[in-house]
């Protein structure tokens, strides 16, 4: 039984069965006892009537008249019987209704005590009998003992009890069935929010819905909220891994192109050293990209001091090999002692993407400047990185579009369309900004401003 509705219905059915069973038992007992008490009261009345009608006879014994006030004593088979016995148990009088029947003598009660007992006729007809022993004082002063007895057949009483029990079971069964039917309809309405959650989860699985709605009862609001948090967390994790793979593929493009260029110039004396540098660069990129999904970009436990001038020189040297056919003139201006406080992989991703885009789109010239942030003159804190080229530039109306992943202005040019999006993400993770303008050379000028560490932390907080 995995259905919650079925479990509830069965539980309610069992409870109703127990409750109604106990109620039926109590009512049946009460009715039976009340009916039997009524029969005893009636027999007591008949016994008193016999006592009142008894008179001494001509033979010196008690006698009862032929006609009594209760006509059933004179009616054969009426079910009401009467007897009068002496002290020896001999029958002095028997009602006409007991003609042909042998009423059991039963227990002789003590004088003045009424004795109720259940007896049976020869044909197993049940009887309820009442006996009373009395000492009768005659006019001559003598006293004799007599036993008055009345009995009544319980057939009609048992039939009434059976009929009452049948009606009782019928009515309670009808009430139980009605209650179960009403409860099933009520349960159907109460379970509607659960079915709604199930339907919305199915829609999420099929891609028709992004999250659960918030229109649920109070008891299910927490479930829906936690489910949405789980869905958002899993979606963010999936996006993070997907972005990581995209970034990895994009980052490896430049070292691979550099290695391809170096393979065409094997006779160069420093070929092996430069080739190994590219391999080391690829290994560093792989480790950096695979490390990013494990922790969010804001959760940085160690801030490294990255030597900006040294890393820029490495990037420029590699790009000179990649774009050997174009042979761009790359001018680098870095403030002496300039350092980037953060992850070295972040800086290489940031500067490498900007330089790669500039070399790809420039005609001949590329300029790179790295200056301290205006917020802090310390060269080891904030940083303003500017990369300019003399290419076709970027229209203002397309600047925001290029910051989205997969968006490119020229589909004919090789690329993934995620370089500027990666740069923007890294800059924002450090509390910085990215701006796109037109350079003095006529091409694009992209500026990344990274605030000082204290400022960045306060902005993020």
Domains of the chain, residue spans = 4-161, 202-294, 300-460
Q: Which residues pair with 130 in a beta bridge?
A: 116, 150
Dist. CA 376–CA 338, nearest whole Å: 12
Distance, in Å, from the CA atom of 445 to the CA atom of 389, rounded to the nearest integer, reads 7
Provide the greatest CA pair distance for the chain. 164
pLDDT of residue 455: 47
Q: What is the pLDDT, as a whole number, of residue 262?
A: 60
65 in helix, strand or coil? coil
pLDDT in tens, 178-223: 998 998 888 888 888 888 888 888 888 888 888 888 788 887 888 8
Gyration radius from the chain CA atoms: 54
Tokens of residue 412, six digits: 């004919």
Which DSSP symbol is given to 89?
Answer: -
Q: How far is CA 90 from the centre of its chain?
A: 83
Is the pTM value of this prediction over 0.75? no
- Orientation angle between helical segments 344-361 and 419-429, nearest 10 degrees: 150
Which of 442, 437, 315 is closest to 389 using CA atoms?
Answer: 442
CA distances from 444 to 132, 380, 428 (A): 128, 27, 21
Cα separation of 390 and 358, whole Å? 9
Is the CB of residue 13 less than 8 Å from the CB of residue 180?
Answer: yes
DSSP structure class, residue 111: B
Segments in 264-307 forming alpha helices (H): 271-291
Is residue 293 a contact partner of residue 240, using CB atoms and an 8 Å limit? yes
In the structure encoding, which two tokens stand for residue 374, read together? 């205006």
| Residue 9 near residue 180 (C-beta atoms within 8 A) | yes
Rounded CA-CA distance 68/82 in Å is: 11
Host H or E run for residue 446: strand 444-450
User: What pLDDT sits at residue 412?
Assistant: 43
- DSSP one-letter string for 351-391: HHHHHHHHHHH-SSEEEEEEE--TT---TTS-EEEEEEESS
Rounded Cα distance, 428 and 431, in Å: 5
Quick check: 255 and 281 in contact, CB under 8 A? yes
What are the tens digits of pLDDT across the range 58-96?
777 888 888 888 999 989 888 999 999 988 888 999 999
Closest-CA residue to 378 (of 407, 328, 317, 337): 337
Q: pLDDT tens-digit profile of 399-418? A: 777 777 655 554 444 444 46
Spatial separation of the C-alpha atoms in residues 318 and 280, rounded to whole Å: 12
pLDDT score at 101: 87
Q: For 300-460, CATH number?
A: 3.30.565.10
Distance CA 161, CA 166 (A): 9
For the record, the structure tokens of 132 come out as 């009373």
Q: What is the pLDDT of residue 10?
A: 87
pLDDT value of residue 387: 95
Compute the distance between CA of residue 429 and CA of residue 346 in angstroms, rounded to an integer: 10
Note the pLDDT of residue 362: 92
Extract the runs of DSSP E, i.e. beta strands, from 138-209: 143-153
Size of the chain in residues: 461
In angstroms, the CA 411 to CA 401 distance is: 14
Query: Tokens 């990895």 — which residue?
Result: 248
Nearest one of 413, 415, 433, 414 to 423, comparing CA atoms: 433
Report the distance separating Cα 292 and Cα 257, nearest Å. 24
Under-50 pLDDT residues of the chain: 294, 296-301, 410-417, 455-461
Q: Any idea what DSSP says for residue 432?
A: -
Beta bridge partners of 149: 83, 131
Q: Which helix (H) or strand (E) holds 156?
A: helix 155-190
What is the structure's pLDDT at 284?
66
C-alpha to C-alpha distance for 342 and 313, rounded to whole angstroms: 18
């Amino acid at each position: 039984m995995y259905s919650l509705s079925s479990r509830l219905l069965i539980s309610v059915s069992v409870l109703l069965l127990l409750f109604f069973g106990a109620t039926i038992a109590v009512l049946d007992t009460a009715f039976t006892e009340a009916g039997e008490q009524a029969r005893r009261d009636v027999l007591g009345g008949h016994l008193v009537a016999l006592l009142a009608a008894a008179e001494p006879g001509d033979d010196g014994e008690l006698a009862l008249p032929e006609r009594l006030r209760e006509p059933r004593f004179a009616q054969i088979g009426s079910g009401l019987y009467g007897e009068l016995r002496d002290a020896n148990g001999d029958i002095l009088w028997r009602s006409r209704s007991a003609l042909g029947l042998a009423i059991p003598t039963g227990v002789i009660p003590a004088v003045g005590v009424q004795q109720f007992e259940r007896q049976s006729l020869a044909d197993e007809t049940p009887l309820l009998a009442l006996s009373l022993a009395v000492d009768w004082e005659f006019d001559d002063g003598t006293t004799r003992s007599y036993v008055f007895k009345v009995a009544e057949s319980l057939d009609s009483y048992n039939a009434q009890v059976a009929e009452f029990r049948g009606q009782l079971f019928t009515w309670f069964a009808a009430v139980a069935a009605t209650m179960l039917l009403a409860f099933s309809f009520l349960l159907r309405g109460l379970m509607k929010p659960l079915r709604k959650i199930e339907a919305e989860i199915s829609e999420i699985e099929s891609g028709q819905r992004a999250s659960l709605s918030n229109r649920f009862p109070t008891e299910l609001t927490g479930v829906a909220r936690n489910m949405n948090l789980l869905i958002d967390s899993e979606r963010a994790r999936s996006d993070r891994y997907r972005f990581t793979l995209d970034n990895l593929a994009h980052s490896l493009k430049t070292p691979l192109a550099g290695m391809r260029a170096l393979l065409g110039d094997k006779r160069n004396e420093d070929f092996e050293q430069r080739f190994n540098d590219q391999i080391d660069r690829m290994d560093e990129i792989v480790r950096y990209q695979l490390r990013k999904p494990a922790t969010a970009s804001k959760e940085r436990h160690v801030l490294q001091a990255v030597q900006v001038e040294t890393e820029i020189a490495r990037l420029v040297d590699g790009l000179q090999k990649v774009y050997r056919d174009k042979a761009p003139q790359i001018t680098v201006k870095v403030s002496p002692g300039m350092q980037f406080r953060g992850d070295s992989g972040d800086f290489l991703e940031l500067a490498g993407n900007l330089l790669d885009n500039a070399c790809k789109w420039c005609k001949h010239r590329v300029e790179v400047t790295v200056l301290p942030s205006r917020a802090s003159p310390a060269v080891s804190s904030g940083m303003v990185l500017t990369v300019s080229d003399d290419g076709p530039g970027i229209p203002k109306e397309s600047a925001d579009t290029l910051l989205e992943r997969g968006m490119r202005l020229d589909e004919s040019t090789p690329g993934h369309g995620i370089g500027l999006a990666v740069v923007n993400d890294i800059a924002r993770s450090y509390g910085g900004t990215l701006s796109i303008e037109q350079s003095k050379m006529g091409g694009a000028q992209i500026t990344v401003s990274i605030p000082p560490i204290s400022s960045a932390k306060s902005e993020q907080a």
